[in-house]
Amino acid sequence: MTRKDKKIIEYQRALVEQHFREVENMYKKMREWRHDYHNHMQALSAHLECENIEAAKVFLQEINENLVTVDTVIKTGNTMVDAILNSKISLMKSKDIAINATARVPEKLKITDVDLCIVIGNLLDNAMEACERLEKDDRFTRIYISAKNNHLYMSFTNSSGKKAEKIGGLFASSKGRDHGIGLSRVDGIVKKYGGYVTRASEDGGFTTEVILPL
């Protein structure tokens, strides 16, 4: 096994562990909220019994805001993709990144769940890190995943600063070697399944599109 192969395997293992921690954290929040559910209802009932309507409204608003952070916002039809998408979206929202997401994954796929989650996880990590370099009001990420003409089409667009420059036909990175490994991993998986990946940069936005045969 070459040194490059070892680095890729180490990177993949670290990435899977990171994704697992994020998913675990999301479900931990869900369990905590469910555990507190009865306490919330008792407090709300107390406000209503005292006819303190304004206090009840404020309390309901607080509950709603907390629930938004743990609710499963995306249901794609694929459990693994649901887990990685929702964990990343939850993390991005905590970083004040506006999210617009539409995702539907066919039941039968040529690509394995693990490989698909590596692609999605890497691309969303890249989008998140690009957004974090901007002011909060300028942060956004758009996610679109759907089946089109016997292919799985995925598009990820994130806010960015000025138009990125290309070096040797590739976009330059400000993240260093690990970023290169991540992009190489995505490209390798896409190539493995006979798919295509394109990247485009314009002032204010960066888009990655992935097409995989079904």
Q: How far is Cα 124 from Cα 118, in angstroms, rounded to an integer?
A: 10
What's the average model confidence in pLDDT over 145-162? 90
Residue 88 pLDDT exceeds 80: yes
More confident residue, 89 or 24: 89
More confident residue, 3 or 193: 193
Q: How far is Cα 139 from Cα 130, in angstroms, rounded to an integer?
A: 9
Residue 91 pLDDT exceeds 70: yes
What's residue 168's pLDDT?
46
Residue 179 pLDDT exceeds 60: no
What's the average model confidence in pLDDT over 59-72? 65
Question: Domain boundaries in the chain?
Answer: 3-213
What's residue 210's pLDDT?
96
Residue 163 binned pLDDT confidence (cut-offs 50, 70, 90): low
Tokens of 133: 């370099």
Residue 178 pLDDT exceeds 80: no
What's residue 209's pLDDT?
96
What's residue 180's pLDDT?
60
Q: Which of 33-42, 176-185, 197-206 has the lowest mean pLDDT?
A: 176-185
For residue 73, give the DSSP letter: -
Mean pLDDT of the chain: 79
CATH number of 3-213: 3.30.565.10
Residue whose C-alpha is closest to residue 157's, from 172, 139, 177, 137: 139
For residue 163, give the DSSP letter: P
Residue 213 three-state SS: strand
Residue showing tokens 């309901």 = 60
For a pLDDT cut of 90, what percent of the chain falls above it?
30
